[in-house]
Amino acid sequence: MENTPAPAAHSSVRSLRSLQAPVCGLLLSFLLSCSQYEFTLNEKTLYDPTTFRRELSLKDKDLENCVKNVVNEQQITAARQVRQLLCGPGKILSLEGIEIFNRVQQLGLAKNTIENISSLAALRELRHINLADNAITDASILDELEQLQYVDLSGNPELNCASTAKLQARKQIELLLPKHCRQE
């Protein structure tokens, strides 16, 4: 006598296996839609969506305050969710730490006191940036950002115009330069 499962048992196993992917997908989508809720198991927190907001810390407190406002208003729970940051006018001096928002596509930093923009090199998805009316002297780091479509550097009186040469050569970018850098 052979120990082979009955045909009905075989079809039941196949039916269960065919449901596995849809059930997992449904469960995953349910969990993702609950990103604003805290998950606990046996009184131990497994996920707290407010942790990111509470622990967010940047070197420049004015930049930090702006980012925290955006994150709280939009109920953002992770840096990768930030697509737009508009932080001007203000008193932002340093962009150190902004690298964690590597999915940001639009960045407004006009009318601040920013000198060094090297931290922007990590923002590979950046398409639109307004750096008007700051204290920027070197914009060459922006050459590395291949997705850029719009760059405003107007009102940066100390900007080394040579640092914008590669940006000027890229035809797909709308580039606004300070008066002393414009080729007229």
The full set of domain ranges for the chain reads: 18-49, 60-181
pLDDT in tens, 139-164: 999 999 999 999 999 999 999 999 99
pLDDT in tens, 28-58: 455 445 455 544 455 554 444 555 566 788 9
Architecture of the domain whose range is 60-181: Alpha-Beta Horseshoe (3.80)
Residues 6+ apart with CB under 8 A from 52: 71, 76, 77, 78, 79
Average pLDDT, the chain: 83
- Read off the DSSP letter of residue 43: T
**CA-wise closest residue to 129 among 116, 115, 114, 148:** 148
